[in-house]
Amino acid sequence: MSQTPTPSLDFYTLNLITLALIGAGLSYLQWKHQKRKAHPTFPHPQDFEARDFEAREGREGLLGNGAGADVKAADGPYIYPLYKDEKALPEATVAHLFTTGFLAAALSATFTGTLADTYGRRSACRIFCFTYAISCLTTLAPASSLPILFLGRILGGLSTTLMYSVFESWMVTEYHVQRLDEAAENYGESTDHQGTLSSSKLGHPEKNTLSLIRDDKRLWALIITTCFFEGSMYLWIFFKFPALRLAHQLNGKGSDLPFGMIFAALMCAMMLGSIFFTWYSALPPGKWVVPPSTLLSLSLMVAACCFLIPVLVRNEAITFWCFCVFEMCVGIYFPTMGNLKEKIVDDSVRAKVYGVLRVPLNVFVVVGLGMTKDGETHRDNMFRVCGTALIIAGVVVGRYLKD
C-alpha cells in the first residue's frame, strides 16, 4: 500500500500565498461593490451623522478594538512555543499558566460588565490597553520567575474579558444612541432575511442578571453557543500546534514547524470567513439566503467536523486544511453572533450580559486545560469533546434562535 505524499515546509508557504491572494481578490471585489452602492442621489441627513459617528467613535472604538484583537491574536502562534520550547516549561506547567488566564477571565467576567455599564465603557477600554500591555511585558520574564508569568496570565485573562465585552457593547450602544439604525430603515436597507429576533429585546435594568437568564431561552442559547464554540476555539489554540507537530513527525519531517507561516495562513482563512459573511448577509432574500441563526448553526456543524476529522485521519495536510476551515468558521461566527446579540440584548444591560456570557466559556476551558496530559490520546479526546460540544451548540441554535 503506497503512502500518501507528505507536504514539506513549502506546503505552508503555498497555502499562505493562495489564501492571501483569494482574500485580496475578494476584498477588492467587495470594495468595488460597496463603492458602487454607496452613492444615493439624495443623501439622507443621518448619512452625515453616520460619517461623523465613524470619524469620532469609529476611530477610537473600532480601531481600538481592532488593534486589541490583532495584538491578542498575534500572540496565538507564539505563546505555547514560548512557554514550552523557549522557556522549557513542562506541559503541565504550561497548561496551568493557560488555566490561570481563563480562570481570571471567568472571575472578572462576573463584575467587569456591571462596572463598565455603571462607570463607562470607554474607560474600561482604556483599562484593557493598560492591563494587556503589562501582560505582554511579563512574557519577557525568565522561566525561573513563575510568579511573574502567572501574573501576566491573570492580567491577560482580565484583558480578554474586557476586549470581548466592553468594546462591542460600547460601539453597539453608541450606534443606537446616535439612532443610525433608523437611517438604514428609512432607506429600506434592512435585510428581511436577518429575521425577527429584534422584536423582543432582553433587558430590564431593575432585574438582576440571573433573572434575565432564567426568563429568556434565547439567552440560554447564546450562553451555550458562546461556551462551546469559543471554549473549543481556545482549547484548539492550545492543542493545534502539538497536533500539527505530531502529524509532521509521523510524516518523518522532524518536529520543527514554521509557526509564523502557519499562523498567517490561518488568519487569512479567518479573513475569508469574515468576507464571506459580509457578502452573504448583503444578499437580497432568496432561496439560498438563510438568516444569521441558520448560518451560525451550519457553521457550528462544519466546525465540529474540523475537530473530528484530524482524530480519524493522521495526515498533516488534511489536519492543516481542517484548521483553516475552522478559522473560516471563526470568521463567520463572530459577526453572526454579534448580529444576534445586538438584536436580543438591550443596551442598558449589554456589557453586563456580554460579561456573563463569558463565565461558562472560561469554566469550560479551565476544566479542559485542568485535565491536560502529555500525549496524543488526551489531545484526541479533547478534540472529540469539542466536536461533540459544537454539534450540541448547532442543535441548540437551530432550536431556540430559529427565526
**Measured distance CA(118)–CA(348) in Å, rounded:** 10
- Model confidence over 175-201: pLDDT tens digits? 666 655 554 444 334 344 444 454 455
- Amino acid in position 11: F
Task: Give yes or no for residue 3 having a pLDDT over 60.
Answer: no
Highest mean pLDDT: which range of 10-14, 108-112, 196-200, 372-376? 10-14
Residue 29 lies in a domain: no
**Measured distance CA(306)–CA(59) in Å, rounded:** 36
Helix 166-177 vs helix 146-163: crossing angle, to nearest 10: 20
Prediction pTM value: 0.75
Task: Give yes or no for residue 23 having a pLDDT over 50.
Answer: yes
**Measured distance CA(261)–CA(13) in Å, rounded:** 7
Q: What is the CA radius of gyration of the chain?
A: 22
Q: Which domain holds residue 177?
A: 48-189+200-400
340: closest CA among 270, 393, 284?
393
The average pLDDT across 346-356 equals 76
Better-scored residue on pLDDT, 35 or 229: 229
The pLDDT of residue 269 is 94
Task: Give yes or no for residue 45 having a pLDDT over 60.
Answer: no
Say if CB 227 and CB 360 are below 8 A apart. yes
The average pLDDT across 143-158 equals 90
- Label residue 150 by pLDDT band (50, 70, 90): very high
Angle at CA 390, nearest 5°, toward 103 and 101? 15
The average pLDDT across 271-290 equals 86
Sequence length of the chain is 403
The average pLDDT across 40-55 equals 47
The pLDDT of residue 265 is 92
**Measured distance CA(188)–CA(267) in Å, rounded:** 34
Residue 23 lies in a domain: no
The average pLDDT across 382-387 equals 94
- Amino acid in position 363: V
Of 7-21, 50-64, 141-155, 163-177, which range is least confident? 50-64
Residues with Cβ within 8 Å of residue 385, at least 6 apart in sequence:
368
The pLDDT of residue 229 is 95
The average pLDDT across 115-136 equals 83
Using the 8-state DSSP alphabet, how is residue 82 labeled? I
Residue 347 lies in a domain: yes
- Label residue 210 by pLDDT band (50, 70, 90): low
**Measured distance CA(132)–CA(249) in Å, rounded:** 35
- Label residue 11 by pLDDT band (50, 70, 90): confident
Say if CB 96 and CB 279 are below 8 A apart. no
Residue 70 lies in a domain: yes
CATH number at residue 72: 1.20.1250.20
Task: Give yes or no for residue 379 having a pLDDT over 80.
Answer: yes
The average pLDDT across 351-378 equals 81
Using the 8-state DSSP alphabet, how is residue 2 labeled? P
Residue 12 lies in a domain: no
Beta strands in 241-375 (DSSP E): none
The sign of the torsion formed by the CA atoms of 280, 283, 284, 286 equals negative
* 190 φ/ψ sector (left φ>0, alpha ψ -120 to 50, else beta): beta
- Dihedral, 50, 52, 55, 58 alpha carbons, nearest 10: -40
The sign of the torsion formed by the CA atoms of 298, 350, 65, 127 equals negative
| Percentage of the chain exceeding pLDDT 90 | 25
The pLDDT of residue 37 is 64
Number of domains in the chain: 1
- Model confidence over 56-103: pLDDT tens digits? 444 444 444 444 444 445 455 567 778 877 888 887 788 888 888 888
The pLDDT of residue 366 is 84
Better-scored residue on pLDDT, 54 or 279: 279
The pLDDT of residue 260 is 82
The pLDDT of residue 325 is 96
- Label residue 30 by pLDDT band (50, 70, 90): confident
Highest mean pLDDT: which range of 52-61, 279-288, 289-298, 387-396? 387-396
- Label residue 48 by pLDDT band (50, 70, 90): very low
The pLDDT of residue 64 is 44
Task: Give yes or no for residue 250 having a pLDDT over 50.
Answer: yes
Helix 112-119 vs helix 146-163: crossing angle, to nearest 10: 60
**b/e map 149-173, b = 16+ CB within 10 Å:** bbbbbbbbbbbbbbbbbbbbbbbbb
The pLDDT of residue 27 is 85
| Percentage of the chain exceeding pLDDT 70 | 75
Say if CB 344 and CB 67 are below 8 A apart. no
Highest mean pLDDT: which range of 72-81, 276-285, 306-315? 306-315
- Label residue 336 by pLDDT band (50, 70, 90): very high
Say if CB 30 and CB 275 are below 8 A apart. yes
